[in-house]
Amino acid sequence: MGSRHVSAAFAAACIQFTAGPDPEPNLREVTQLIRRARDAGAELIMTPEVSNFIESGKRRRDKARREAEDPFLAGIRDLARETGTWILVGSLVIDPAGEPGADPGEERLANRSFLIDAQGGIVARYDKIHMFDIDLPGGESYRESNAYRPGGGTVVAETPWGRLGMTVCYDVRFPHLYRALAQAGADFLAVPSV
């Protein structure tokens, strides 16, 4: 992909769980799974999309926190420090209000992935670009774009093993994004999903 290759073999783990509507039990479950992955030798541990909670409508909006105030993100950062591992948070439901460039009237949330280093620092953030909007037979439709605003661009992050191209879920349907990540020097890719 990129101009360089992954620097060395490394152990990665994709933890699987189904997030519920409450962040606290989700964080407890993810914490146990991350510790198990670390104990099995993982150096980079990845969680699914919307790891903090899955909720709809007004309840989703009410539960969303700004990045600096999100207890799930704070817990994951502490866990990265404790375990000495890098953690790719597949994504969290984040309230982007007040962030630089945020539209003050925007009600939609961000579906944001975070790359956390072994010291608990946020190395990179990526907001999902492509929203899953579909019309089904019988008049049923789903509009992720009603709840989430799209991200603004590609993200390639430096890791100890090479450059990681960050994407989320439905982004996988858009080859131009992966071409852009390769052209930006990504050595490997992450595509967390629900």
Active site residues: 49, 128, 169
Q: How many CA atoms lie within 13 A of 140 on its CB side?
A: 3
**Separation in Å, CA 135 to CA 108, 141, 149, 174:** 20, 4, 19, 18
Residue 166 CA to residue 154 CA, distance in Å, equals 7
Report the first-to-last Cα separation within the chain, whole angstroms.
26
- Name the token pair of 174: 């858009």
Helix H or strand E encompassing 75? helix 71-83
Q: How many CA atoms lie within 13 A of 114 on its CB side?
A: 25
Q: How many CA atoms lie within 13 A of 179 on its CB side?
A: 4
Residue 131 CA to residue 152 CA, distance in Å, equals 12
Give buried/exposed letters for 65-99 (b at 16+ CB in 10 A, else e). bebeebebbebbbebbeebebbbbbbbbbbbbeee
